Homo-oligomer: A and B are copies of this chain.
C-alpha cells in the first residue's frame, strides 16, 4: 500500500515529513502569539490552489478581508481562486454584521455554535464540488481555540466534530491551536490526543534575542524528523531550514 501524501508547499517542511503530509491527516498547528501559525496555514492553502487543489479556510479570529490582505502581503492573492470556485473562505468572524460581511459567500450565523459552523463548512465544500467537480483537498480552521476559549471542557468534543467533517470529505489540513506565550503544552489533553498530528511553532527569547523554531511532535502514518529546526518568516512566507537544529530553548 503506497501512502498518498499532500505536499505542504512550505520550503523545507516536506523534507521533515518524509515527502509530505499523509493524506486525510488533521494536524494541530500549535504555537504562541506571533509564531506564524496563520502564515504557515495560508501558505499551505495557496500552494494547493496554484496546483489546482481546492481548499477551504475557516476564519474565526479575523475578518475575511484581513485574511485576504494578509495573503496578498505575501503575494498569495486568493481572490482569483475564489472567483473560480476553487477556494472558499468561511467567515466565522463577522456573524454577517457589517458591510464587507455582506459580500462574503459563506457566513457562519452563530460562530459560537459548532453545529452552525459545521453546516457552513459543508455548504462551502458542496459549492466547491459543484464549481470544480472536486472535493477540497486542503483545509484550515484558524483557530479551533477560539471555539472553546471560554468552555475548555468542550474542547475535545468540538475538535472531534470538526475532524469528523474533514475526514468525511477526505480533507488534509491544519487546526490552529493558540497557546499562551508561557504555555508549553499544545492546547490541553483533550485536543492533543484527538488529532492525527501535532506541529509546534515556537518563538523563544534566548540571550535577549527571539528565535523561531518548528518541531513535528506527532504524525500518524509516517516517519518524520524528530528534531527542532530553525525557520524564518520572509516576505515570501515561511522557510524552514532542515539543516539548522535548535538545541537551546527558553525554559
Contacts and interface: CB of A to CB of B under 8 A. Distances in A.
A223 B220 CA distance: 34
A116 interface: no
Interface residues of A, number: 57
A173 interface: no
Contacts of A194: 61
A171 interface: no
A84 interface: no
A235 to B, nearest CB: 8
A207 interface: yes
A246 B211 CA distance: 15
A133 interface: no
This chain's copy number in the assembly: 6
Interface in A192-251: 192-195, 198, 203, 205, 207-211, 215, 217-221, 223, 226-228, 235, 245-249
A227 B208 contact: yes
Interface in A164-188: 167, 178-186, 188
Given A181-B184, A221-B73, A228 B245 contact: no
A11 B145 CA distance: 38
Given A209-B227, A210-B215, 14 more contacts: A1-B72, A33-B193, A33-B195, A33-B217, A178-B193, A180-B185, A181-B186, A181-B192, A182-B184, A183-B189, A205-B215, A205-B228, A207-B247, A208-B249
5 contacts: A32-B192, A33-B186, A209-B226, A209-B227, A211-B226
